Structure 1
Amino acid sequence: MLPHPPTVDELRDHGIRDTEYAPIPTTGLLWRVHRTTSSHALAWDEFRTFGPVLRFDPHPLPRGDHPGHGVWYGAMDVHGALAEAFQATRTIDRVEEAPYLTGLHPVRDLRLLDVGGFGAGRWPTRVGGTFALDSAAHGITQWWARTLVAAYPGLDGLLYRGRFSGGPCVALFPPAADAFPVRPATSNPLAHPGLQRRLAAAGEALGYTLV
């Protein structure tokens, strides 16, 4: 069970130790699946300001459009990006809403707070929480995200363990915007024939249907 977060002042007092950061260097590759024709479509490098909706949305309540309170979700591998993007149906649909698979290298090193237990630090436990941050109800994890960005306004984002991918995923906050390149390293529609084998392998590994 995940307790409610400490206050903003308490989190500031706890701080973030060097061992509790997960650095993503410029050689790192972040992956994102994004729809391009839906009413909620976003560009590959666009932060979503409408929320809160998903796990680490930092938007204040009530739900709505909150300029300046954006979030960008991605993964450290293709399987992770697909697992999280199609979790609701467990079907990798290559056509509906014209989804793209985009990979990018940050133009500067990112410093993400490790809340997934990937490194030596144990920040969630040290500040009074648990590693249920990656699986608890969205209402409480969003509360943690709001408190985090208020306590650490310069934080690039979080590295967490994807609930469906099981691997490292990222939630980036507005300070990370200057780390996006002018162009992605790769970006193709999922319907591209060259992705067929990669998508099939991901579907097999995840137990997702590919259509």
Structure 2
Amino acid sequence: MNERPKVPLRPPETFVTEAAHLRGFDSVLWRVFATTSPHALRWNELRRFGPIAGMRFDPHKLPQGMDSQAGVMYAATTPHTALAETFQATRVIDRSLFGREIVAWRPTRALTLLDLTTNWPVLNGAAASMMMDDKVATAAWARAIHSAMGGEIDGLFHHSSITAEPVVTLFGGGRREPGLPKRPEFSAPLGAALADEIVSQASRRLGYRVV
């Protein structure tokens, strides 16, 4: 007998969501972003192109392309987790590649996030492994969540599959946009002296090399 996947490729048509599954969030978020790559975005700009293979919770409709009704931004609650996620493929923090910068900001309003660390996944036929599971399946759930709840939530609260620390996936669309400020509280090129201590601490915590 075939074992049922913990995160089915096809989410349910409707979700069971209780007040306890929604988390208010107004703390600082961190992001590492490229400034010189062909597809670079501003630090506070959500990506409208997708879904991209290998990204866990892209909410864009299929087939892949520009989606004016769906945007996504992946952010972390600590700088070392932001660096861990960005450089997970090589485990090397490259301080010059694509002119990357690191920024920190606080939302301009309290965000409402669907908390995947609660029993919401299992209550809806999946499992907590949604935060770590096959990304084709988790992207399908992201599309369904955004379609069903995009007007009520700003995104997802979950754990990093690298550091197990909290991370936030922000959604955007025609009905609701997350509270992103015009300017970050902290901003520095990864190669700048201002980022030295952040990169050094991340390297020690993660065991990543730095070049």
User: Is TM (by shorter chain) over 0.5?
Assistant: yes
1:209 partner amino acid: R
TM-score norm. by structure 2 comes to 0.90
Gaps of 5+ in 1: none
User: Which of 128, 137, 148 matches 2:145?
Assistant: 148
Aligned equivalents of 2:40, 2:168: Cα separation in 1: 19
Which residue is equivalent to 1:188? 188
Instruction: Give the CA deviation at 1:5.
Output: 4.3
2:125 partner amino acid: G
Which residue is equivalent to 1:203? 203
Which residue is equivalent to 1:170? 168
Which residue is equivalent to 2:60? 59
2:18 partner amino acid: R
Between 1:63-72 and 1:51-60, the stretch displaced more is 63-72
Secondary structure, counterpart of 1:102 in structure 2: strand
Q: Is the 8 A contact 1:5 1:128 kept in 2?
A: no
Which residue is equivalent to 1:131? 128
1:168 partner amino acid: P
Higher helix residue share: 1
Which residue is equivalent to 2:32? 33
Secondary structure, counterpart of 2:36 in structure 1: coil
Instruction: Provide, for residues 134-182 of structure 1, a one-character-per-residue CA deviation record: whole Å limited to 9, x for no partner.
Output: 1111111010001101111222100111111211111111166351112
TM-score norm. by structure 1 comes to 0.90
**Equivalenced residues, count:** 201
Gaps of 5+ in 2: 1-5
Aligned equivalents of 1:45, 1:177: Cα separation in 2: 11
Aligned equivalents of 2:23, 2:80: Cα separation in 1: 20
Instruction: Provide, for residues 114-149 of structure 1, a one-character-per-residue CA deviation record: whole Å limited to 9, x for no partner.
Output: 11x2xxx31111111101111111111010001101
Instruction: Give the CA deviation at 1:59.
Output: 0.7
Which residue is equivalent to 1:47? 46
Q: Is the 8 A contact 2:154 2:178 kept in 1?
A: no
Give the fraction of aligned pairs with identical amino acids, expressed as a percent: 38
Aligned equivalents of 2:10, 2:130: Cα separation in 1: 11
Aligned equivalents of 1:177, 1:84: Cα separation in 2: 24
Secondary structure, counterpart of 1:97 in structure 2: helix
Root-mean-square deviation (CA), in Å? Answer: 1.4
